[in-house]
Chain A
Amino acid sequence: MAQRSERRRIHLDQSDLLCTKGCGFYGNTAWQGLCSKCWREENQRDKQKQIQDDWALAERLQREEEEAYASRHQKAQSQAAVTPFNKFEERKTKEKSSKVNTVTKFFTPSSKTPPKKGSPSSCSTANRPSSADTDLATREFIDFLKPLKYGRQIFRQCRAFTESMAYKRDMGVEDMSECVQDFYQSLSERLHTQFKGTKMLYVEGIMDEVERYMTTRLYKEVFCPETSDDEKKDLAVQKRIRALHWVTTEMLGVPVDEEIPEASDSVVKAITDVIELDSKRVPKDKLACITRCSKHIFNAIRISKKEAASADDFLPTLIYIVLKANPPRLQSNIQYITRFCNPSRLMTGEDGYYFTNLCCALAFIEKLDGKSLNMTSEEFDRYMSGVQVSPNWPPVDGAALTQVHERLDLLSGLGERQELVMERARQLESDLIDWTDEVEQNVQSILETFEAPVSSAIDSDNVENEHLPPPLTPQVFAG
């Protein structure tokens, strides 16, 4: 099918080959039927227009926000506006005794690493996230807010806050987290007042987008930041999990029978999902990976046990999955979610429950000893040192994991090749444009040189096509 339509394209009408703008040059399907000149003009115009639109919108937002602010400021200073900066200053002077016991605390006992010395604030400019991602996030955020009442105000505030945070990297990630969390809280409180009478879900939907925009923008600064020892811990966890490769389903009491194909299939999917966690930027998207992983685990349990999974079944299976998957930067991902996720989602939502179980799994793995696997510490040591080998490692289980890793390798390989192809394609496109230009120029100069004789040779009703390249063009290409 595809081949035939390709072929048919070759036998097009002469007029179909011309630039659709009617300028008389040859068009090209790759340039949406335009000639190189018109294509470039159009393209340029589109880009220019987009840039101008964005600027105009940003400027309008700014202006309107300032006007609104000015009038509100005069009328009532009592209205509780979001003032994250003041809050931040406040916090800096305030002792930090009132903090709640968070997961963060659970994993990082007492020692707080001081910020690394000699990280000039200027380098935060250089390390800002690749503009493509953040630009897209900004655009999507604006598109989302456009139709909303107070949309501009929300955008202005979020942008101002996020920009200010991006340059405060050296303040330490825990303090940044506090600031962001305060911002979420005061913004959501205000939205609940402003949108009084709407469903609770409405404001939550807005807060989701706020989180998406802000975390995408701040990701590079706050994910596994160099001011923390997250990276060191990631490596330690990775090593620890590798050392525990011998742990079996029996030792953990995992109620999954991997002999059943559908169950082992669910196990593989769960492993893939928990590995994918690291590839997402937005906390909500990361949580979605954990939730998908959990649902696959439930499925594996249900198939094996013929009953709905309880926490007694779920947690050991999740631990097993984490051991199999050895997810990249697990510690950093957990910290990042804890620090920058909208807290209501972690507290009462379903995603929060699965996330909490993942935290439990990691804590269990870190502390795991002989007793937690119902064996003596001598036996445990023998396994750890490799003297003793577990009965069914690696044949059945190993196959699934190997498969996953092979697939991942394949995928990343494909990704690289895709990029290479894209790059070459772009190169080819620009080469083609240059080449056409060259041909046009050549033709022009030849035409000019032989102006009189050539024009007399041209058909009188074909005047508008006088700039057509001569039919010898294909020969040049073939040569």
Chain B
Amino acid sequence: MAAAGGGGKSFSFKVVLLGEGCVGKTSMVLRYCENKFNDKHITTLQASFLTKKLNITGKRVNLAIWDTAGQERFHALGPIYYRDSNGAVLVYDITDEDSFQKVKNWVKELRKMLGNDICLCIVGNKIDLDKDRNVSTEEAESYAASVGAKHYRTSAKLNSGIEELFLDLCKRMMEAAQVEERSKGNGGGQSASGRRGVQIVDDEPQAPPTGGCCSSG
């Protein structure tokens, strides 16, 4: 899987975390980047901007995860946070119907502002509290499908489903980036929007040609 030196491309992605307060955004990202949950030994200075380096099928990925202020009074600032994002993780709490409604509002807004340029993940968190569930998985999944998003089920507490969520998101963003790269190549490279979009950079030496005359002689 981790065959190094493959394509030699590296990706940088920006992902925003959106959702009502207390649904577990901060817990999720701290679990993912530092494998911590409700950690009382505060060794982390902040949990608002975290990064993770991944290696996906030989390609390096730098993931920057932007936490956003969830208070209602800051809602109008959303566009400043999510501009130029490659992905958005929209979190709701499965025990809180309201928080799912908030996710729907975010989806509407994001599609309106960014169209299909952004990979959307709808995440039902706190699945460890299934006995108090107030949002049905079927409903959430069919909603996600209807808006071109993917649905995930996680628990920051039990560390369940979070790795999978971000890995899957990265793969989708890589795909989207490569599609854009290809269309840019065909379109004569005049797109001004490409500049502030994804960066794809060659940063590894090309693997030397294998085989050839040297091996025989």
Contact = CB atoms under 8 A, between A and B. Distances in A.
A356 B80 CA distance: 7
Given A309-B47, A312-B21, A363-B80, A253 B71 contact: yes
Interface in A182-230: 182, 185, 192-193, 196-200, 203
Contact of A101 (B44, B81, B113): B113
A295 interface: yes
A308 B12 contact: no
A196 B80 CA distance: 34
Interface string A240-267: 0000000000000100000000000000
A181 interface: yes
Interface SS of A by simple majority: helix
A98 B192 contact: yes
Contacts of A312: 21, 26, 69-71
Contacts of A178: 192
Interface string A348-387: 1110011010011001100100011110000000000000
Interface stretch (A130-138, A147-155, A166-174, A298-306): A298-306
Contact of A199 (B30, B80, B203): B203
Interface in B183-217: 191-193, 195-196, 199, 201-206
A314 B67 CA distance: 10
Contacts, number: 134
Interface in B42-69: 42, 44-49, 51, 62, 64, 66-69
A167 B118 CA distance: 39
Interface residues of B, number: 47
Contact of B81 (A181, A301, A360, A367): A360
Interface of B: 10, 12-14, 21, 25-26, 30, 40, 42, 44-49, 51, 62, 64, 66-71, 73-74, 76-77, 79-81, 83-84, 113, 191-193, 195-196, 199, 201-206
Given A295-B45, A299-B45, A315-B69, 6 more contacts: A103-B83, A307-B42, A308-B47, A310-B67, A312-B69, A360-B69
8 contacts: A101-B113, A302-B42, A306-B40, A307-B40, A309-B45, A360-B69, A363-B77, A364-B73
